[in-house]
Structure 1
Amino acid sequence: MQITPKNINRFMMFKLPLGYLSGMRVKEITDTFSAVNIKYKWINQNPFKSMFWAAQGMAAEMCTAVLVMKAIEKSKKKVSMLVTHQKSDFFKKATGKIVFTCNDGTQVANAIKKSIETKEGQVIFLTSEGKNEDGIVVSRFQFQWSVKVKL
C-alpha cells in the first residue's frame, strides 16, 4: 500500500475503526510534514463539552505514525516501528476542528538510515501539535518511537 492520505483513511476504516468513527482523517503527508484533522462531535466528546483527550491522542499519534510509515516506504526496507513512550500537554478545550501537525520527517528518515547502517534500533522523539480553527494550540503530544531495520 502506498502511503497517501486516501489509502491511510481507507485502511483506517477496516483496521482502525475507532479512529475512523471518531472522525480522524489524514489530510496531508510529505517526506517532512503531516497533518491530521479531527472534529469535536458526539462520539469523541467528554462530559465537559470538549474533545476527549484520548481522541486527541489518537489523531496526534497518527500524525507522527504516517511520517514513520512514509519514511519506511521510501527506504524500501522492512523496518519495525513501535511507540515506546508518550507525553502530552493540554492548554485549551478542544472544540470544533483540531488539526494536528508534525514537521519531524527529516528526523525519522535519519533514524531509519542509521538503523539500516548500524543494524541497531533507533529512538526518535516526534512532536504533534493540535491547533483549533483560530490557530490556537490546544494540545501538544510527544511520542517516542523505536525503529529498527529487520534483518
Structure 2
Amino acid sequence: MIRLFGLMKIPLLFWIRPSVIELSETRCEVKIPLTRRTKNHLNSMYFGVLACGADCAGGLSAMKQIEQSGKKVSLAFKEFDAKFLKRPEADTHFICEQGEEIKQFVQKVLASDERHNMPVKIIATCPKKLGDEIVAEFTLMLSLKKK
C-alpha cells in the first residue's frame, strides 16, 4: 500500500522502497533498506532518506487513525527537527509509538473546524547492526484540519 501511494502521490517514496513492518493502534514501524539508492558517499543512509522514513512512520500512524474515523482530514507536517546520533550503516527502522495519542488528536480535530498541531516523535534504529541503539531522533509537527 505504501509503495502504491508513493508511486501515485510521492514518487520518492516509491524509489526508496519502504516497507511496513508493523502498523497497529499504538505503533508504526517502517523499514527502509540501505541500498545504492539510499546511501551517501560514506556508505550510510543519506539524511534525506532518513527524513523520508520519519515522514512515513509518523504519516502512516496519522493516516490509519484518519481512515478509521471515516472522515476527510487534511494532513501535513509543518515543522521538522532531527538529531543524528550515529551513522545508519544498515537497513533502518523508523518507529512511532504515539498511536493512541494520535487517535485522540484526530478526534479533537474532527470536533473542531480549526487546524490543530501535535508533535510526533520518531526514532530510527539499525537492528541488524546496532540492535536497539537509536541512530536518529525526529520530531515532526503534525498539522490536521477537518475538510
Normalised by the size of structure 2, how large is the TM-score?
A: 0.91
- The 3-state SS of whatever aligns with 1:139 is strand
What is the DSSP-based 3-state SS (H/G/I as helix, E as strand, rest coil) of the residue aligned with 1:56?
Answer: helix
Structure 1 gap segments, 5+ residues each: 1-6
Structure-2 residue corresponding to 1:3: none
Report the residue type matching 2:126 in the other structure: N
Equivalence for 2:31: 37
CA distance in 1, matches of 2:77, 2:105: 14
* Number of the residue aligned with 2:111: 117
Q: CA deviation at 1:43?
A: 1.1
Counting matched residue pairs gives 144
Partner in structure 2 of residue 149 of structure 1: 146
Q: Do the aligned partners of 1:112 and 1:149 also contact (CA within 8 Å) in 2?
A: no
The 1:129/1:72 distance shift into structure 2, 3 A limit, reads same
Shift of 1:103: 0.7
Q: How does 1:47-62 map onto structure 2 within 5 Å?
A: 47-62=41-56
Aligned partner of 1:126 in structure 2 is 120
1:98 aligned partner: 92
In structure 2, do the counterparts of structure 1 residues 67 and 128 end up closer, same or farther at CA, with 3 Å as the change threshold?
same
* Cα root mean square deviation, aligned: 1.3
* Alignment correspondent of 1:19: 13
Q: Whole-Å Cα distance in 2 between the matches of residues 136 and 23 of structure 1? A: 23
